[in-house]
């Protein structure tokens, strides 16, 4: 629209050799409007090869309202995809 409103914007930074991975989480629960959904944009300011550690996404998950704390306990989810590239 002409006057967009962002409900959540945050840059996640993981330092080199950090031993703990971020849990699965969903930003969609931040926006409580009944017909809202999130579109997430991923931007890497440098090359992000698989050797640096995966950034995992779950296609279609932005269409579901979930409880972030319940989702965090999962390690792998069917359909997940790894983002990597130059």
Distance CA 7, CA 9 (A): 7
For the full predicted model, state whether its pTM sits above 0.85: no
pLDDT for residue 79 is more than 90: yes
**Number of separate helices (H) and strands (E) present in the chain:** 1, 2
Tens digits of residue pLDDT in 8-31: 677 777 787 888 877 887 765 556
Distance CA 56, CA 82 (A): 5
List the chain domain ranges. 1-86
Tens digits of residue pLDDT in 38-49: 667 777 888 888
* Main-chain phi, psi angles of 71, to 5 degrees: -70, -30
- Chain centre to alpha carbon of residue 68: 11
* Main-chain phi, psi angles of 52, to 5 degrees: -80, -10
């Amino acid at each position: 629209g002409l006057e967009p409103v962002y409900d959540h914007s945050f840059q996640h930074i993981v330092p080199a050799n950090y031993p703990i991975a971020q849990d699965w989480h969903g930003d969609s629960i931040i926006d409580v409007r009944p017909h809202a959904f999130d579109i997430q944009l991923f931007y890497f300011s440098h090359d992000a090869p698989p050797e640096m550690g995966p950034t995992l996404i779950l296609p279609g998950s932005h269409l579901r309202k979930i409880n972030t704390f319940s989702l965090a306990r999962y390690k792998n989810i069917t359909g997940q995809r790894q983002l990597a590239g130059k």
